[in-house]
Amino acid sequence: MNSWRKQLRFDPIKPLLDSGNEAIVFFTKRNLLNEDAGGIEQLWHMEQPQRLLEKQQGDGSWKYKGKKSLRREYNKLETYRTIGWLVEKYGMNRAHVSIQKAAEFLFSFQTDEGDFRGIYGNQYSPNYSAAIMELLIKAGYENDPRIDRGLIWLLSMRQNDGGWAGPLRTHKVDYSVIRDRKALEPDRSKPFSHLVTGIVLRAFAAHKEYRKRRETVHAAELLASRLFQKDAYPDRADISYWTKFRYPFWWTDILSSLDSLSLIGVAVRSQNVRRALDWFVAKQNESGVWKVYLLASADDRRYNDLWISLAICRVFKRFYTG
């Protein structure tokens, strides 16, 4: 058995291979067993991604189904959410015309400064800017100059301590009050937010060059130092949010954090990293999968536990085999 599997109480491979989900089986073979699983394109024809693609609009977006007053801004959010499923679960990339159209829709909201504006009105959003870039990088836009401009902007928006925070929160201002006014710069003297920093680091971790930068490694160490602690700001501040999960990743939790830290190269000997890995060891079910607190997802709920389990296994493999 591989060294990373020896860290676990039960072997997770069999339930993943027996899942009956073609995509989970594919990624288990390719990412965990280092086997030839065939071309990624085979997953694009599965029923679930085809259902999502059928709902794409002509401009490349997906329509937000909530309040009509929010659709102008939240079509961007719904598009980000949907390409998250397509890219993370079915390996779709810019070779598919639907991903090209979705990418150009999102890039159309990138400002000259480099950020992706609109989900918080006119206000800066380091977290959503980074989250969008993470998916675009994974979809094959890593070397696109627009991604480079966005990552440079993120580096320019750091707090003095080297992490990131929501600019409005550093001024104790609510997003709903000021969203349509001129963008407010952060008070850089205030501490970083682990919620925002964890999301921002996902973009840097996805990029093969930017993950190596000194600034990225420093921010990763800051995030590692805050695992299982309360955030400095009110959004999802409670300690309990560290162990509330979603896949594809959305907010910052111990799994999304470990995923980034394992790619950036934070050592497993870090006390907080070791504590988070031990948490997963203790929570593994006898069946080999993990049944943890899952936040709602509109995607195929039948396989949520297995997707989380696959993501956990990827983290253990990186930490223990490199």
pLDDT digits (tens, 9 = 90+) for 202-233: 999 999 999 999 999 999 999 999 999 999 99
The span from the CA of 260 to the CA of 244, in Å, is 17
pLDDT at 177: 73
pLDDT digits (tens, 9 = 90+) for 163-193: 999 999 999 987 777 777 889 999 999 999 9
Q: Identify whether 314 is part of a domain.
A: no
Q: Identify whether 280 is part of a domain.
A: no
Residue type, 147: I
Alpha helices in the chain (DSSP H): 13-17, 22-27, 47-54, 71-90, 97-107, 126-136, 145-156, 175-178, 194-206, 214-225, 254-264, 271-283, 304-321
Report CA torsion sign: 185, 78, 296, 88.
Answer: negative
Task: Name the domain count of the chain.
Answer: 1
Confidence of residue 295 (pLDDT cuts 50, 70, 90): confident
Q: Identify whether 64 is part of a domain.
A: yes
What average pLDDT score do residues 286-294 get? Answer: 94
The span from the CA of 291 to the CA of 286, in Å, is 10
Q: Identify whether 44 is part of a domain.
A: yes
Domain containing 89 equals 40-108
Sort residue 161 into left (φ over 0), alpha (ψ -120 to 50) or beta.
Answer: alpha
Of all residues in the chain, the percent with pLDDT exceeding 90 is 85
CA atoms within 13 A on the CB side of 236: 18
101-133 burial, b at 16+ Cβ within 10 Å, e below that, comes to bbbebbbebbbeebbbbbbbbebbbbbbbbbbb
96's tokens: 């598919």
Compute φ and ψ for 252, nearest 5 degrees: -100, 125
pLDDT at 175: 74
Question: pTM score, two decimals?
Answer: 0.95
* Mean of all residue pLDDT scores within the chain: 94
Compute φ and ψ for 143, nearest 5 degrees: -95, 10
Three-state SS annotation for 188-205: CCCCCCHHHHHHHHHHHH
Q: Identify whether 118 is part of a domain.
A: no
pLDDT digits (tens, 9 = 90+) for 115-140: 999 888 889 999 999 999 999 999 99
